[in-house]
Chain A
């Protein structure tokens, strides 16, 4: 059976169809999930992607309202039980709001929306979503956000560094004021990963700056087949 990876569509999600496409290109079966679905088991998904966009218009705070969507209850429950979950951009914001990941994303320090191809260094190649990379590898994927400044208190940042939970760091200059150049992090178990840049936009030569983003999805598929 093909491995099924669900992609949640919230009102205001933008990159859900690109995320599904990336999963298909990587060889998986992409399953569209609706924010009102409460039953994740019925969909028989092995992993979940929370895509980029502006869920609920970014009202209140980015990701704050999506966090209370019916589907997030089983997603959080399954994530705590080890299911791979990837949050991209707005999805990362949702993961921070649910406290599956520590810290928060704040307004870019220069106040501008930024949209560019971004070089990143892979700092952790052992998570469910990065095992197809090598530690220290540099990748280029698009970055596009207005509220991508990663913040957490110093103790949390030290913990993340000490436990190897910083998964990606920005290279060529910090684009948004993120503490310690952090672009993406993981939870303790390594199954939940969130990042601001967009790997799903870099999966084929025709439409992406590179195909460097494909490794996220092939990593998860390999892990799920092996388990």
Chain B
């Protein structure tokens, strides 16, 4: 059994008022030096069977159609192996590593 982690973040050009509210609260709590906070979602999927190309393709599809709304959000998919090591999965059209999608 392997775990696949999907991180979903608002695209850089989309305002994140929740992240801003968190950032503004930091100085009040005595935490200085944090200039920006962006808030996102993390999904941990426990996958039955091997995490091969087919499984990852299906996970990519479910991330793209359901976990993320690619109008406003980017996502990344990572595989977490049993020993805890992580490996990124090649970037799709809406992956965060590609930056803003107009």
Q: Which residues of A contact B (CB under 8 A)?
A: 60-61, 64, 68, 96-97, 102-104, 106-111, 149, 151-155, 177
Contacts of B10 in A (CB 8 A): 106
B15 interface contact, C-beta 8 A: yes
The answer for the CA separation of A88 and B10 in the assembled complex, in Å, is 24
Are A151 and B69 in contact, with the CB atoms below 8 A? no
B67 and A151 form a contact (CB under 8 A): no
In the complex, whether B47 has a CB less than 8 A from a CB of chain A is no
B61 to chain A, nearest CB (A): 14
Asked if A103 and B67 sit within 8 Å, CB to CB, the answer is: no
User: Inside 8 A of B31's CB, which chain A residues have their CB?
Assistant: none
B interface, how many residues as a size bin?
A: 10 to 19
Q: Are B102 and A97 in contact (CB under 8 A)?
A: no
Question: Is B56 engaged at the interface, CB distance under 8 Å to the other chain?
Answer: no
Among B47-102, those with CB < 8 Å from A are: 66-67, 69, 71-72, 102
Known A111-B17, A153-B102; contact A106-B72, beta-carbon cutoff 8 A: yes
Do residues A109 and B66 form an inter-chain contact, with CB atoms below 8 A?
Answer: no
Q: Which residues of A contact B67 (CB under 8 A)?
A: 60
Contact A155 B102 (CB under 8 A): yes
Taking a contact as CB atoms closer than 8 A, the residue among B15, B17, B18, B66 that contacts A64 in the complex is B66
Would you call B17 and A97 a contact (CB within 8 A)?
no
> Pick the contact of B69 from A64, A68, A108, A109 — CB < 8 Å?
A64
Q: Chain B: which residue is nearest A97 at the CB level?
A: B69
- B14 within 8 Å of A (CB atoms): yes
Q: Say whether B21 faces chain A, with CB atoms less than 8 Å apart.
A: yes
Contact, CB under 8 Å: A111 / B15: no
